[in-house]
Amino acid sequence: MHTLVFLSTRQVLQCQPAACQALPLLPRELFPLLFKVAFMDKKTVVLRELVHTWPFPLLSFQQLLQECAHCSRALLQERPSTESMQAVILGLTARLHTPEAEADTHSLCRKHTLRVLDMTGLLDDGVEQDPGTMSMWDCTAAVARTCIAQQQSRTAEPGPAPVPVEVRVDLRVNRASYSFLREALRSSVGSPLRLCCRDLRAEDLPMRNTVALLQLLDAGCLRRVDLRFNNLGLRGLSVIIPHVARFQHLASLRLHYVHGDSRQPSVDGEDNFRYFLAQMGRFTCLRELSMGSSLLSGRLDQLLSTLQSPLESLELAFCALLPEDLRFLAQSSHAAHLKKLDLSGNDLSGSQLVPFQGLLRAAAATLLHLELTECQLADAQLLATLPTLTRCASLRYLGLYGNPLSMAGLKELLRDSAVQTELRTVVHPFPVDCYEGLPWPPPASVLLEASINEEKFARVEAELHQLLLASGRAHVLWTTDIYGRLAADYFSL
């Protein structure tokens, strides 16, 4: 639904040249809605002029592109238009080329001038994009090019200093984009365009390049460091971690392939692990830790005991956890604060089941998001866990994909979860009833790769849907889609 103010604003922007001429006559209280409508409708001429003449100290995508009283559409939940993003960057460039004396006398900049352009919070779903939208990789490249061009312009044409603007962004970097992003960060030092990174994601980046980037980031801005597909191991991580630990406001740390398996100890490995633990103890604001595909068998207590504050999000996918790891976590101070827990890829079907149930009991009051993909949970284990699982009254998301569950098991889960009134999404496996000739117990690889009987599964979907309707829960999504944008980011919980 759109309000009359929204519809009037959209009408005003139909003729862009006239709208640009009218901007000085419009009350600045209309500028936030003007920005949202121009961004939504790709009114690029107006959008560029809005950024160029923005009359407030802050222009924040998270504030302007969310659902509002005039328009229920939340643009941050969509891939941003390439045209609109380019228009914003062009408007910023135009603003940077406006001398401060001229900006101060501009009729729209009566009391304030733009100091911060916050472009964080854009959708980054990781799926293939269409040509009309901009990915986070594209956004990083566009902002980096603007920084470099601004520095080159200042060098070539010295003149009055432009109004300085801090640009807050989430940066994505890999081997291909590393060089120009490093140049952009260097260019922004002492520049009117100051680049501030909120979330950094580095993929498949050599250790020395990762360190070089971390040294260029503002310690007061960084909220998350996410190192993916780097396969650092303990040796590489011991080099990088002290550079990460200097970010005292860091709230989220996502690492992968940290090998600390106590079953194959070595002197160097033990020294590196102890050094890693010592550095982890320096973080004072850490709330999320992801250690996916790290061999932490029997060592979770050492890792979590070093942290200064309880975690609210813990991802331990494919970490070969032992029963004692789960028992420690259940008894630790972290359990009672957990909002998000990911134990995917850990076998919970045997001696780990009872400690896992104890962990659920300890986290029941706070848990919102539980991911248990490929945990070897069959009907017997699920039914034994349901009394504990249903005590998680605030649970919104449950991921069970890749577990050998039958239709009977799924129906039990659907019926018993009726008491969980906050539950909105269940990602369930294809029932074992829908496969032909499965070995038992079926390995996760077989469940993920074997063909299913589409006709049988169609009947399963229809029956689950009818059960949801009959119980008044048509709003709850039951799906086998593990690639949809269903799993919540910690900061959105």
State the DSSP string of 198-242: EEEEEES--HHHHHHHHHHS-TTT--EEEEES---HHHHHHHHHH
Q: Angle formed by the axes of helices 4-12 and 31-40, to 10°? A: 70
Could you tell me the two tokens for 180? 């120009």
Instruction: Provide the pLDDT for residue 429.
Output: 96
Please name which of 62, 58, 256, 80 lies closest in space to residue 167, comparing C-alpha atoms: 58
Alpha helix stretches (DSSP H) within 97-200: 100-105, 136-156, 178-188
Which tokens is 146 given?
């603007």
What does the pLDDT read at residue 210? 94
Q: How far is CA 398 from CA 97, 379, 409, 454, in A?
A: 51, 16, 15, 24
pLDDT at 159: 64
Beta bridge partners of 118: 60, 168
Q: Calculate ∠ Cα 289-256-309, nearest 5°.
A: 15
In contact, 388 and 364? CB cutoff 8 Å: yes
* Model confidence pLDDT, tens digit, residues 396-429: 999 999 999 999 999 999 999 999 999 999 999 9
pLDDT for 290-323, tens place per residue?
A: 999 988 999 999 999 999 999 999 999 999 999 9
What is the separation of C-alpha 471 from the centre of its chain, rounded to a whole number of angstroms? 33
Q: Which residues of the chain have pLDDT under 50?
A: 103-105, 107-111, 260-264
CA-nearest of 313, 371, 382 to 346 is 371
* pLDDT value, residue 313: 98
Q: Which residue type does 180 have?
A: F
Partners of 313 in the beta sheet? 288, 340
Q: What is the pLDDT of residue 161?
A: 67
Contact 314, 336 (CB under 8 A): no
pTM above 0.75, yes or no: yes
Q: Is it true that the peptide bond before 441 is cis, omega within 30 degrees of 0?
A: yes
What local confidence, expressed as pLDDT, does residue 407 receive?
A: 96
Contact 123, 80 (CB under 8 A): yes
Retrieve residue 56's tokens. 């407030």
